Structures are given as C-alpha cells and as structure tokens.
Chains A and B, each alone.
Chain A
Amino acid sequence: MPVPSADRMFSEVYANGSSAVSAQRDEFLTYLSQFEQTGGER
C-alpha cells in the first residue's frame, strides 16, 4: 500500500471542511516545502 501524502491527514475531518484545519494543513505544507527547497532531511 503506498504511503499517503501528508496533506491527506487533514482531509475529511469535517463533512463540510474547516478553515482552521485547512490553515493548519497549509502551514504544515509550507513548513515541509522548506526542507524540499533546501534539500534537507527532517
């Protein structure tokens, strides 16, 4: 089974979505992208 992408963690928490959860997702993905940009590993 493939490893799901990190953003899947924030999906379907609420039936109609949540701005607070979406904001956390966006912040976390921005944080992760910093590692990709610098070629660093977590």
Chain B
Amino acid sequence: MTEVDARSRPRPADGSDPGQAPSRVTIGKALNLGLRAAMERDPKVILMGEDIGRLGGVFRITDGLQKDFGEQRVLDTPLAESGIVGAAIGLAIRGYRPVCEIQFDGFIFPAFDQIVSQLAKLNYRSQGRIRMPVVIRVPFGGGIGAVEHHSESPESYFAHTAGLKVVACSNPVDAYWMIQQAIESDEPVLFFEPKRRYHEKAELDLTATPVPLHSSRVLRRGGTATIACYGPMVKTCLEAAESAAEQEGHDLEVIDLRTLSPLDLEPVHESVRRTGRLVVASEAPGESSIASEIAARVQQECFYSLEAPVVRVTGFDTPYPPSKLEEEYLPDLDRVLHAVEQSLGW
C-alpha cells in the first residue's frame, strides 16, 4: 500500500483548513475532525468501511477524508464485515493502524468471529509479539426509526471478551479526543458512537487536555442518588436529573462511564458511598449486561453504604422492536425517574 504524506494533502478550493474546528460542533463533526487529526499525525492510520469514501459514510462521519487523503487511506470496502475486520487484522500485523467503520450496529455480527477469535486473541496467542492497533467504530443504539438490525446495542458481547477494549462516547468533546486516543492505542478498541446523538452540539476546545480514554467522568454533582450511564443515555439521564431537581428537589449525581471495558468504577464507588443509591441506565437489554456487571461490582464494593438495591433501567430482554414501538422500548426520562423513585422508596 502506498503511504500518503499528510503534509501534502490537498486543501479545499476555498483555501480553508478542513482540520480547523468550528467552535460548536456536532458529535459527527467532532469524530470527523478527530479522524482527520489522527490521519494527519500518522500516515499508518487508514480508514476502511462500506461507503465511507466517496459518500463519506451513511452518517457522513468520514465526509471529505477520501478526497483529502486519497483512496489508499480511505477505502471503500465490499459489503462484507468479516472481510473488513479480517483485512484490518492483516494490515495491523503489517504495521498499520486501521479504523473500521461498521455501518450499523446489527451488521457487526458477521465480523464477530474475526473480532472475538482473532483480533482479541492475537496479542495473547503471540505472547505479545503481535499488537493489534485496530479501532472498530460502531454507530449503536436506537431512536432513529430504523428497520431491523439498525438499532442494536451489542456492547456487552465485546466487553465480555478478554483482549478487547470497549468505549462509548456521549458528546462532541469526548468524541473528538476519544477517537484519537483509541487510534493511538496498541490494543483493539470497539468504539461505540451514539447514532441518535450524532447531531448534538457542544463547544470544542482543541487546546484542552483530554481525560484518559479509560476513565469515567462525573458530569453532574449531587447527593440524593447516583446515576451511571453511557452513550446515548447520558443526555437522557442529565435531563432526568434536571427534571428531578426542578420537580422534586432531588439532587442526582450523573456519571458518564465512557469506558465499558475496562470499567472505571472508582468514581461510581465514591459516589455511591455518599449517596447510598445507584441507578444504572443503558439502552441494551439488561440480562447479562454492562448494567448487571456494574450492579454486581457496586454491591460487592459498597455493600455497607447502599441504602437500596442497585436499580437497572435498560432495554427489555426482547429483540429490538419495530420502530413504531421503540419509544416504548428505549429507557426515557420518565423511566429513569421511575427507577430513581424506586431506589428512593426502598
């Protein structure tokens, strides 16, 4: 494969610098800028996926990158997820840092064997001689009115697999920094992007110091109860906390987990030791899930601080329903507040 010198990339016709961030950006644009920054920094970073080149991806996350970095670094692949990840594994062995886009969450399952049987295990199998700096980007979760296979939350499958790192961004600032940190990692990272939040905007300060990739973050301080959440549920939980403050005078602490494997639960433990109550919110089905793992660990670490059992508010243990029922399926503000009331009423 021909390497392309990032410094020689063409500029847009208007002469602007496409890597310069506007002050307020969406999650989608922040990811685009993060990918661009990573590609400029390291010519070994290449992007692969279905329609990510000329089209810029179905969500336009890679918009303009093939034009600026060329077809050798932004590859339109066949519709074959197992082939995309398999090729990425081979490229990683040859020293590249592939970033694969899985077009929709439900399409990751054809690549499951490559991810779990090969990508996750090559470092272990080779006794550390073969690194796997591969990022797999996955737009995940529901709420966009899509058809079957387009609204899944498969993160628990991968968090369950030793050798993989799993993260989920929830806002533009994290999207920008976390995608770059994931690409710089020498380990395979499943990077989950909240597709129904792609258009959420926030100020992006490129001079800020990012927090470490595998760390959770307290977004809202409070003493009544703790809510732990990630990805698309973070906005829902922050809105629930504001509503609870206005309507009930409750002061809820909201923690964005950000990293799902490894979990960074010390901020959750510290919070629960103060509040005595924990609600874990996730779109994924609750059975054998990230939420279950957190509940187990918190009861183990904070048993004598808990005033109530840990409450999970999750998707139901059913297939993701037809889009006409997804509003019922997805945990919304009311269900989060209901879970908080369950905890407080114990």
A residues adjacent to B (C-beta < 8 A): 1, 3-4, 6, 8-10, 13, 18, 20-21, 24, 28, 31, 35, 42
Contacts and interface: CB of A to CB of B under 8 A. Distances in A.
B318 A9 contact: yes
Contacts of A4: 322, 324-325
Contact of A6 (B287, B319, B328, B338): B328
Nearest to A13: B318
B321 interface: yes
B316 interface: yes
A24 B324 CA distance: 19
Given A6-B325, A9-B328, 8 more contacts: A1-B324, A4-B325, A6-B328, A9-B316, A9-B325, A21-B316, A24-B317, A24-B318
B329 interface: yes
Contact of B318 (A3, A21, A42): A21
A31 B318 CA distance: 18
Interface in B269-322: 287, 316-319, 321-322
Contacts of B328: 6, 9, 28
Interface of B: 287, 316-319, 321-322, 324-325, 328-329, 332, 334-335, 338
Given A3-B324, A9-B316, A13-B318, A42 B329 contact: no
A42 B332 contact: yes
A21 B329 CA distance: 13
A21 B334 CA distance: 21
A21 B316 CA distance: 8
A20 B317 contact: yes
A13 B324 contact: no
Contact of B329 (A9, A18, A31): A9
6 contacts: A6-B325, A13-B317, A13-B318, A20-B287, A28-B328, A42-B334
B47 to A, nearest CB: 37
A1 B287 CA distance: 32
Contact of A31 (B321, B322, B338): B338
Contacts of B335: 31
A28 B339 CA distance: 12
Given A3-B324, A4-B325, A10 B332 contact: no
Given A6-B328, A9-B329, A28 B322 contact: no
A13 B319 contact: yes
Nearest to A18: B317
Given A4-B322, A6-B325, A9-B321, A28 B334 contact: no
A8 B325 contact: yes
Contact of A24 (B316, B322, B332): B316
A24 B287 CA distance: 11
